Amino acid sequence: MAQTGTTGDKVFRTVLFITAAIIVVIMAAMIFMMVWNSLPTIKTFGLNFLIGREWKPAESVFGALPFIYGTIVSSVIALIISVPLSLGIAIFLVEQAPKKIATPIAFMVELLAAIPSVVYGLWGIFVLAPFVRDYLGVFLEKYLGWLPLFQGRLTGIGMLTGGIILALMITPIITAVVRDILEVVPTQQREAALALGATKWETTQIVLGNAASGIAGAVILGLGRALGETMAVTMVIGNSPQISASLFEPAYTIASVLAANFAEATDELYLSALIEIGLVLFLVTFVVNAFAKLLVSRVGKRMHA
């Protein structure tokens, strides 16, 4: 944009520059605060913090593995449920449904994203957890109970319920991004395939193939969101720092332990341990989201190349 060089312009640009710089300052301050406050734990435990399985504040023993495990497993369960679901919805909306139906349905799926986390948690405690306990869990135990995944005490509160609620929360996000990506695929591609005699479904498969990296990006974006989800998970996951093969057992995620225990960490090492876990979560979501963005933006570039 050409500069016209008047003082008005200089002032204007400076003011805007400051507002933009505030974002940089916030990020820098946040990273600094977390690293600084993590130092005591880093000094005491080093890398063993990340693989330590014991979390016992009374003895000042802090190992973050149960939370890392809980965060990853609940997110993986969420992806396993959500990805096929989101793809199905997105394909339906872009490739198959007539505009008249697609628009309102798309809107309603987006509304799922607008529901606050604590509301999902409320619904999770009083509707989903009893459902898992009385129906879904019983079903899984009956038919798949030979897997260690579905053995053990079924209370409705645990890793499985946490994963299901996350799945519901990230579906609208993945759906929205996949929709955008599929819509970016030029119509000529579809027309070319059809002209060559492909069926509708085969055409869709070709489109999906082209958008593959973008879809991967959407999935990873959903993952990033699942990793950081706090309230809904805290309310249904059982808050138990254990590593168990059974999905029925309670678990703990990084975000949940922060929400539950931050206010009461009295000694410096405990507080520092919690902040270091927060730092781990921050770094992981950072990498995941950056990677996702990269994949998604690549698709856009390829399509319009």
Partner 1 sequence: MIFTVVLGLACSGQPLGQSNGSTSTGGGEIRLQGSGASFPKPIYEKWVNEYGKINPNIKIDYQSTGSGAGQKAIISKTADFGASDDPMSDEDLKDTGLLHIPTVLGAVVLTYNLPVLKEPLKLSPEVISDIYLGKIKRWNAEQIRKDNPNVNLPDTEISPIYRADSSGTTAVFTDFLSKTVSEWKEKVGADKQPSWITGVGVGAKGNDGVMGQVKNIPNSIGYVEIAFAKANNLPTALIRNKAGEFVEANLDNISAAAAGSVAEMPEDMRVQITNADGASAYPISSYTYILVHRDQSDAAKGKALTDFLWWAIHDGEKFTKDLHYASLPDEVVKKAEAKINSMTGGGKPLRQ
Partner 2 sequence: MTTITAACAVFAIAVLLIILSYIAVRGLSSISLQFLIDTPKPVGEGGGIGNAILGSVMMTLLACVIGLPIGIGAGVYLAEFGENLFGKTVRFLADTLIGVPSIIIGIFIYTLIVLPMGRQSGLAGGLALAIIMIPIVARTTEEMIRLVPNSMREGALALGAPQWRVTWNIVLPAASTGIATGAMLAIARISGETAPLLFTALNSRFYNYFYDQPMASLTVQIFNYATGPFDVEHKMAWAATLILITLILAINILVRFLTRKRF
Least gap, CB of 158 to partner 2 (angstroms): 16
| Ranges within 44-103 binding partner 1 (CB under 8 A) | 53-54, 56-59, 61, 66
Determine the residue type at 197. Answer: G
Is 19 a binding residue for partner 1 by CB under 8 A? The answer is no
| Ranges within 261-280 binding partner 1 (CB under 8 A) | 261, 263-266
| Ranges within 210-229 binding partner 2 (CB under 8 A) | 224-225, 227-229
Nearest to partner 2 of 118, 212 (CB atom): 118
Least gap, CB of 263 to partner 2 (angstroms): 5
| Ranges within 38-67 binding partner 2 (CB under 8 A) | none
In angstroms, what CA-CA distances link 244 with 26, 149, 151? 38, 9, 10
Of the candidate residues 130, 148, 186, 300, the single one contacting partner 1 (CB under 8 A): 130
Nearest to partner 2 of 37, 240 (CB atom): 37
Integer Cα distance of 69 and 245 in angstroms: 11
Is 13 a binding residue for partner 1 by CB under 8 A? The answer is no
Nearest to partner 1 of 57, 145 (CB atom): 57
Token pair belonging to 223 = 């993952």
Integer Cα distance of 143 and 164 in angstroms: 19
Contacts with partner 2 by CB under 8 A: the residue count is 87
Token pair belonging to 303 = 């399509």
Residue 128: which of 234, 248, 236, 229 has the closest Cα?
236
Cβ(105)–Cβ(97) under 8 Å? Answer: yes
Determine the residue type at 237. Answer: I
